[in-house]
Amino acid sequence: MSAPTRERSSAGGGLAPAFAAVRVRLLLVAALFALAGAGWWWTVDRMRGMDDGPWTGLGTLGWFLVLWVVMMAAMMFPSVAPTIALYSRMTGRRSPLSPLLFTGGYLATWAGAGLFAYALAVILGRVPGDLLAWDRAGRWIAGGTLVIAAAYEMTPLKDVCLGKCRSPLGFLLGAWRDGRRGAFLMGAKNGAWCVGCCWALMASLFALGVMSIVWMALVAGLIAVEKTLPWRRVATYGTAAVLLGLGLLLFVAPDAVPALMIPGAGETGTMGPMSS
């Protein structure tokens, strides 16, 4: 392994080494935040008027995949920036492209997750009886999705995946690979841990309205809090409480959920429930 020896002694330092690297790689971090900001701007522009509430349709595969990758950049870059900054510091000047390849591998994993979500939406959309329609099972499936997401916050698997995200140095030392290919593969592996940590939150986004900027911002905020707040248990318990509360409201009083677009209750967007 070619990672600097001085980094090894602090492998258990949690987020501290990554935050220290941020101060050294300010330009890189600023660029990531600028890309995230551009992603938010582009996403807001493309998603305007398309929120049909829970199980909003995803459109064509190509359109959705582009939108999804930009959404992931917007939502994830702020919280993954310390990891990329630390990786950049550890590689030094040996390979200026490595941080970009690491970032590309990270996004590639999230693109794969988006493809899986799209395939699942297509399958569910072909179930006879319009299963995800709000006046059929859609409301109950949406509420159940949020309750399951809340329960996942308390599982050992969530804890392990979040631990990898909250200990960038430990992850990098354990997954280190040299070279440009290694940079891409390390980024992809980091993305896989991130998917393991956040998949339930992303499922909640689909259940609330994947084309809603409000819910996208809420989920992005919860992810950032879980990955960066010093009080880890407070963050996960708080996230679970938010998800559980929203899920129960969908069961008993969906009209009380702020910013929720209830299908059929008003103006609709340009797509139907989970159709492609």
On whether residue 10 sits in a domain, the answer given is no
Write the DSSP string, 184-200.
HHHHHHHHHHHHHHHHH
Tell me which of 22 and 103 has the higher pLDDT: 103
C-alpha closest to that of 162 among 130, 200, 117: 200
Beta-bridged to residue 56, according to DSSP, are: 273
Beta-bridged to residue 273, according to DSSP, are: 56
Average pLDDT value for residue range 16-28: 85
Asked whether residue 74 carries a pLDDT value surpassing 90, the answer given is: yes
Tell me which of 14 and 69 has the higher pLDDT: 69
Tell if the pTM clears 0.85, that is, is over it.
yes
Counting the structural domains of the chain, the total is 1
36: containing domain: 15-256
Query: For 44-66, what is each residue's pLDDT tens digit?
Result: 999 988 888 898 889 899 999 99
Share of the chain above pLDDT 70, in %: 90
Q: Per residue in 246-275, is it b (16+ CB within 10 Å) or e — as a string? A: bbebbeeebeebeebbbbeeeebbebbbbb
Share of the chain above pLDDT 90, in %: 67
Contact between 45 and 207 (Cβ < 8 Å):
no
On whether residue 2 sits in a domain, the answer given is no
The structure tokens listed for 148 are 């399951």
Query: For 132-159, what is each residue's pLDDT tens digit?
Result: 888 889 999 999 999 999 999 999 999 9
Which pLDDT value is given to residue 124? 86
On whether residue 8 sits in a domain, the answer given is no
On whether residue 261 sits in a domain, the answer given is no
Q: Is 233 exposed, middle or buried (0-12, 13-18, 19+ CB in 10 A)?
A: exposed
On whether residue 1 sits in a domain, the answer given is no
Sign of torsion over alpha carbons 166, 212, 73, 221: negative
